């Protein structure tokens, strides 16, 4: 195994790890709030990945001032993308948490085995 | 700049404005919201229908937001397929708002009505935006808006089952959204562009080092959009969510929202990757073949489950799983007749299925009946809504001269074109199963129950019957006059395949 390659692409390795952790939590954990946390970890891993693809070593902020840029600049588009992505993730979480509150009121439980298990159909 | 030039933006901007203002109108008068939303949807429908003349096969309408040219700015691009979708959404949404007027007064507390209409207009806006955008990330944003609003709309009644169904829908929907975002990232990392046409051009000349990454992106896109479209292995959220939501919401979700997933698959497979990418990698054809097989299984599984259901709305929901299969099968046959048939089935299914759910809503509103066996003899008590159901079942089954028949005929033609005879058998078997589940309901409605001479007619309010009746008439009209749309769809598909 080529460890130096992995260390060079440390961001990607962490993002993959977070992605798998998030997916595992969403799929396996029975507690609905934990599932939501997993969903947030999943989303964060993708955000990390998006920022990483735009990164340039010792790159500058791409602000066009009066003088021309001498150094390499980072790609601003991925940053704009995650900003939108974060807004989307926050609103999904808000809706999901309010649904969690409702579920707790109606079922007196947040355990997926008790709630989703009682499938009427 | 003349007025018509700004139209493409107004289609999204007007309903968005109305959605934002709806709760404010609701502060003064809850009942005023319905008229306000009707005005918004009617205005949008009018603007959408005025686009029809300017777009044809190979002729699309573009608008650059903020004046930025395509590879950099967001482009709004309406081609023939997008136009078909926006027309269905705009006019269908108008009918559903009209239907909601009486039904939702009965279903949710009056204080919550302004929020309901606001959500309805928001989902309407985002679906229109999804279909006309030419930018992949913009598509993602619109997709998230309609996903989040649909979770809220499923849960709007606040009942025990509704909240649970909404949460299940949310978990699957949010995970699939993450998939699509990841796919966009992968695609952006190898192409450096988010504009669909630009990306398509770059993919055509993609260096072999990047082909694997772009294939992973394609796979993630298709997986993500399959969840949104409720394609067979990942359809599990659909039946519960669609059956439990209030009837106008079920109609909206079944007729329009799941079609957005289909349209997403179509946009990615054909507009972005498309024939150009198939020269770079043969795996593109393999993947569309796999999707076609999943769709074929969806037809059979959805229809078989629909036959087994006792609950009317649940039966209709499973029938949607089957029809999504038809649409995706048609699109993924890689034959232009099949694609035209698939898109015509989007129209036919939107009308037929919306009519089904609206009629089911009429039964619930008037009689509180959900079970199919309880509908005995209801055809004599509620003749207009039951008649609409019977007429729409012709289209759902696919009998001539309805729109469903034209769609299935073209899909069969596509199967012959691409020499996939197994799929022909699947399409026909699906139709037979559809006949079983639809005609069972028609049988209970008209041919059982007491035959009394002095039956009193107790029809649902006109605001509920008329949209249902118009939609069922629509299936007949678009079946008889399909000659205007099918040739255009055929040539547009041919251009797309050759490109």
pLDDT (average), residues B482-494: 87
What are residue B108's phi and psi, to 5 degrees? -125, 160
Q: Is the pLDDT of residue B349 over 90?
A: yes
Q: Does B93 touch chain A (CB under 8 A)?
A: no
- Alpha-carbon distance B411 to nearest alpha carbon in chain A (angstroms): 32
Range in B1-5, B86-90, B269-273, B459-463 the model is least confident about:
B1-5
For B65-77, write each residue's pLDDT tens digit: 877 887 788 888 8
* Cβ–Cβ gap A119/B240 under 8 Å: yes
Q: Chain A residue with minimal CA distance to B168?
A: A116
Q: Is the pLDDT of residue B451 over 90?
A: no
pTM above 0.90, yes or no: yes
- Chain B residues inside the 8 Å CB shell of A43: 178, 181
For B17-75, write each residue's pLDDT tens digit: 999 999 998 888 888 888 999 999 999 999 998 888 888 787 888 888 877 887 788 88
Closest to B90 measured CA to CA, from B129, B53, B50, B41? B41
* Cβ–Cβ gap B164/A26 under 8 Å: no
pLDDT of residue A112: 80
CA distance B462 to B223: 42
pLDDT (average), residues B408-425: 91
Q: Can you tell me whether residue B420 is helix, strand or coil? A: coil
Question: Which of B:191-220 have CB within 8 Å of A?
Answer: 194
pLDDT (average), residues B351-357: 93
Q: Is the pLDDT of residue A118 over 60?
A: no
Per-position DSSP letters for B145-165, written without gaps between them: HHHHHHHHHHTTT--HHHHHH
Residues near A31 by Cβ (< 8 Å), separated by ≥ 6?
Answer: A110, A111, A112
- Alpha-carbon distance B114 to nearest alpha carbon in chain A (angstroms): 18
Q: Give the Cβ contact number of residue B119 at 10 Å.
A: 19
Is the Cβ–Cβ distance between B118 and B23 less than 8 Å?
yes
Q: Which DSSP letter does residue B372 get?
A: G
* Cβ–Cβ gap A116/B164 under 8 Å: yes
CA distance A70 to A13: 31
Q: Give the Cβ contact number of residue B32 at 10 Å.
A: 16
Closest to B356 measured CA to CA, from B235, B255, B231, B443? B255
Q: Which of A88, A115, A117 to mutate to test the interface with B (most CBs of B within 10 A)?
A: A88
pLDDT (average), residues B233-261: 90
Q: How confident is the model at residue B2 (pLDDT cuts 50, 70, 90)?
A: very low
Partner residue opposite A95 with nearest CB, options B170, B177, B314: B170
Q: Chain A residue with minimal CA distance to B239?
A: A121
- Alpha-carbon distance B139 to nearest alpha carbon in chain A (angstroms): 12
Is the Cβ–Cβ distance between B43 and B90 less than 8 Å?
no
What are residue B447's phi and psi, to 5 degrees? -115, 10
A59-62 long-range contacts, Cβ below 8 Å, gap at least 24? Answer: none
- Chain B residues inside the 8 Å CB shell of A53: 185, 188-189
pLDDT of residue B4: 47
Q: Chain B residue with minimal CA distance to A49?
A: B185
Tell me the pLDDT of chain B averaged across its residues. Answer: 89
- A55 sits in which H/E element: none
Closest to B266 measured CA to CA, from B357, B162, B163, B131? B131
- Chain B residues inside the 8 Å CB shell of A49: 182, 185
For B452-465, write each residue's pLDDT tens digit: 666 677 888 888 88
- B61 sits in which H/E element: strand B61-64
- Alpha-carbon distance A67 to nearest alpha carbon in chain B (angstroms): 23
Is the Cβ–Cβ distance between B238 and B258 less than 8 Å?
yes
- B422 sits in which H/E element: helix B421-447
- Alpha-carbon distance A99 to nearest alpha carbon in chain B (angstroms): 6
pLDDT of residue B258: 92
CA distance B245 to B265: 25
Is the Cβ–Cβ distance between B415 and B427 less than 8 Å?
yes
- Alpha-carbon distance B161 to nearest alpha carbon in chain A (angstroms): 9
pLDDT of residue B453: 64
CA distance B116 to B157: 10
Q: Chain B residue with minimal CA distance to A94?
A: B148
- Chain B residues inside the 8 Å CB shell of A102: 155, 158, 163
- Chain A residues inside the 8 Å CB shell of B72: none
Chains A, B: CB contacts within 8 A come to 84
CA distance B365 to A88: 36
Extract the tokens encoding B142.
């619109």
Q: Is the pLDDT of residue B157 over 50?
A: yes
CA distance B256 to B248: 12
């Amino acid at each position: 195994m080529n460890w130096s390659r992995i260390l060079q692409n440390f961001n990607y390795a962490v993002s993959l790890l977070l992605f798998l952790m998030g997916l595992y939590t969403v799929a396996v954990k029975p507690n609905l709030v934990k599932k939501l946390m997993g969903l947030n970890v999943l989303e964060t891993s993708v955000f990390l990945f998006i920022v990483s693809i735009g990164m340039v070593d010792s790159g500058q902020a791409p602000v066009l001032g009066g003088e021309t840029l001498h150094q390499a600049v980072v790609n601003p588009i991925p940053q704009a993308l995650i900003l939108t992505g974060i807004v989307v993730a926050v609103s999904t979480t808000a809706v999901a948490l309010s649904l969690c509150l409702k579920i707790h009121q109606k079922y007196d439980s947040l355990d997926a085995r008790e709630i989703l298990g009682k499938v009427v159909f | 700049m003349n007025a018509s030039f700004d139209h493409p933006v107004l289609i999204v901007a007007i309903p968005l404005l109305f959605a934002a203002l709806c709760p404010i109108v609701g502060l003064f008068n809850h009942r005023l919201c319905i008229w306000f939303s009707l005005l918004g949807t009617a205005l949008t429908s009018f603007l959408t229908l005025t686009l029809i003349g300017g777009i044809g096969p190979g002729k699309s309408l573009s608008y650059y937001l903020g004046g930025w040219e395509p590879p950099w700015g967001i482009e709004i691009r309406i081609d023939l397929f997008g136009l078909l979708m926006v027309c269905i959404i705009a006019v269908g949404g108008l009918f559903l708002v009209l239907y909601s007027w009486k039904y939702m007064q009965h279903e949710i507390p009056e204080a919550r009505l302004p929020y309901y209409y606001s959500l309805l207009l928001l989902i309407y806006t985002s679906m229109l935006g999804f279909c006309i955008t030419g930018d992949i990330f913009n598509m993602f944003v619109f997709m998230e808006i309609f996903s989040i609003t649909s979770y809220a709309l499923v849960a709007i009644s606040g009942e025990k089952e509704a909240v649970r169904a909404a949460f299940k829908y949310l978990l699957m929907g949010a995970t699939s959204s993450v998939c699509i975002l990841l796919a966009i990232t992968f695609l952006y990392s190898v192409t450096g562009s988010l504009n669909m046409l630009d990306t398509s051009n770059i993919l055509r000349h993609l260096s072999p080092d990047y082909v694997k990454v772009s294939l992973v992106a394609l796979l993630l896109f298709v997986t993500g959009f399959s969840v949104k479209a409720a394609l067979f292995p990942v359809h599990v959220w659909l039946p519960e969510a669609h059956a439990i939501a209030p009837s106008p919401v079920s109609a909206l979700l079944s007729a329009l929202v799941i079609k957005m997933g289909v349209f997403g698959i179509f946009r990615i497979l054909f507009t972005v990757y498309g024939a150009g990418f198939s020269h770079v990698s043969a795996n593109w054809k393999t993947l569309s073949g796999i999707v076609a097989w999943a769709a074929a299984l969806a037809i059979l599984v959805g229809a078989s489950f629909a036959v087994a259901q006792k609950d009317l709305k649940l039966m209709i929901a499973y029938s949607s799983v089957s029809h999504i299969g038809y649409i995706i099968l048609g699109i993924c046959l890689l034959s232009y007749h099949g694609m035209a048939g698939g898109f015509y089935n989007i129209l036919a299914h939107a009308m037929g299925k919306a009519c089904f759910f609206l009629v089911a809503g009429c039964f619930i509103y008037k009689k509180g009946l959900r079970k199919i066996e309880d509908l005995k003899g209801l055809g004599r008590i509620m003749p207009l809504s039951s008649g609409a159901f019977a007429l729409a079942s012709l289209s759902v089954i696919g009998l001539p001269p309805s729109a469903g028949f034209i769609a299935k005929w073209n899909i069969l033609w596509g199967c012959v074109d691409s020499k996939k005879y197994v799929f022909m058998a699947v399409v026909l078997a699906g139709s037979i199963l559809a006949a079983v589940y639809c005609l069972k309901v028609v049988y209970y409605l008209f041919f059982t129950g007491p035959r009394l001479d002095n039956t009193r007619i107790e029809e649902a309010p006109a605001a509920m019957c008329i949209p249902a009746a118009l939609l069922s008439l629509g299936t007949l009209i678009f079946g008889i006059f399909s000659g205007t749309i099918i040739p255009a769809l055929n040539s547009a598909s041919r251009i797309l395949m050759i490109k």
